[in-house]
């Protein structure tokens, strides 16, 4: 299994531009999570999906952020317009939870975003 | 979700055993305790998970006392490659895990 795949790995953009981050979860996993990590705030959960349906988006910082999961093998996180304070590493993770009590999340390599 | 408290940082010499303790006073009956490890420029990686008593795998051991209000991750004979941030989380399969700031372990030669 290739694991969780994210693209791009690095993104540099200018303030005001639209940014789209992509994620391919591990096949068969029911849950998909988007996180943001910064030195100041640590690892924050932005949104998560169960069977392609958004369950909790309370962590999305503001309306400039949106996430979609059109099918079980693909999700996007979009920032429009981007701002310098959005600079962070964005992780996608997937999990096979839903069939038991234990939960293990498998993380992708992350997308390092820099907004100038 | 269980709120967890762990030390911000720890230092250790190579070859020593490292124990990182995490407090989770309000852990729910059906919550598991899970530990993740994160290296620089990588996503967190699952290390070990337990409910009570002791769990051991090829990487670490996890000790959870009977009251389950705390847990201790034990790393035997650490090496430089164990330098990472370690996260303690509490939760069940019905809710997503919430990561705190973790414990930054620095292993010194």
| Structure confidence by residue, pLDDT tens digits, A34-77 | 999 998 888 899 999 999 999 989 999 889 999 999 999 999 99
Query: Do residue B32 and residue A103 have CB atoms under 8 angstroms apart?
Result: yes
> pLDDT per residue over B87-103, tens digit each?
998 876 556 777 888 99
Return d(Cα B67, Cα B107) in angstroms, integer: 31
Inter-residue long-range contacts of A22-25, CB under 8 Å, 24+ positions, other chains counted: A22/A74, A22/A75, A22/A76, A23/A74, A23/A75, A23/A76, A23/A77, A23/A92, A23/A108, A24/A73, A24/A74, A24/A75, A25/A72, A25/A73, A25/A75, A25/A92, A25/A94
Best of A9, A102, A112 to substitute, by most chain B Cβ atoms within 10 angstroms, is A102
Q: Is the pLDDT of residue B1 over 60?
A: no
Percent of chain B with pLDDT over 70: 94
- Confidence (pLDDT) at B101: 84
Best of A29, A105, A110 to substitute, by most chain B Cβ atoms within 10 angstroms, is A105
For residues A53 and A47, is the Cβ–Cβ distance under 8 A?
A: no
Query: Do residue B34 and residue A106 have CB atoms under 8 angstroms apart?
Result: no
- Confidence (pLDDT) at A105: 86
Q: Is the pLDDT of residue A100 over 50?
A: no
> pLDDT per residue over B34-68, tens digit each?
999 999 889 999 999 999 889 999 999 999 999 99
Q: Could you tell me which residue, B28 or B93, shows the higher pLDDT? A: B28
Strand-pair category, B61-64 with B70-75? antiparallel
Number of CB pairs, chain A paired with chain B, less than 8 A apart:
59
Percent of chain B with pLDDT over 90: 67
Mean pLDDT of all residues in chain A?
91
Q: Is the pLDDT of residue A98 over 70?
A: no
Query: Do residue B87 and residue A43 have CB atoms under 8 angstroms apart?
Result: yes
Return d(Cα A83, Cα A79) in angstroms, integer: 9
- Confidence (pLDDT) at B14: 97
Find the mean pLDDT for residues A14-23.
98
């Amino acid at each position: 299994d290739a694991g969780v795949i994210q693209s791009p790995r690095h993104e540099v953009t200018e303030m005001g531009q639209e940014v789209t981050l992509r994620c391919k979860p591990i096949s068969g996993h029911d849950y998909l999570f988007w996180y943001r990590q910064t030195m100041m705030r640590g690892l924050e959960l932005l949104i998560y999906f169960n069977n392609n349906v958004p369950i909790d988006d309370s962590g999305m910082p503001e309306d400039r952020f949106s996430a979609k999961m059109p099918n079980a093998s693909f999700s996007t996180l979009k920032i429009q317009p981007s701002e310098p304070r959005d600079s962070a590493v964005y992780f996608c993770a997937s999990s096979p939870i839903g069939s038991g009590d234990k939960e293990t999340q498998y993380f992708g390599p992350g997308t390092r975003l820099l907004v100038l | 979700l269980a709120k967890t408290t762990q030390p911000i940082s720890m230092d250790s010499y190579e070859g020593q055993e490292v124990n990182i303790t995490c407090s989770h006073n309000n852990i729910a009956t059906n919550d598991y305790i899970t530990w993740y490890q994160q290296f620089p420029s990588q996503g967190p990686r699952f290390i070990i998970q337990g409910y009570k008593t002791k769990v051991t795998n090829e990487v670490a051991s996890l000790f959870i006392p009977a009251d389950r209000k705390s847990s201790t991750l034990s790393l035997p004979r650490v090496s430089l490659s164990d330098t990472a941030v370690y996260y303690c989380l509490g939760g069940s399969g019905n809710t997503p895990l919430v990561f705190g700031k973790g414990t930054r372990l620095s292993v010194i030669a």
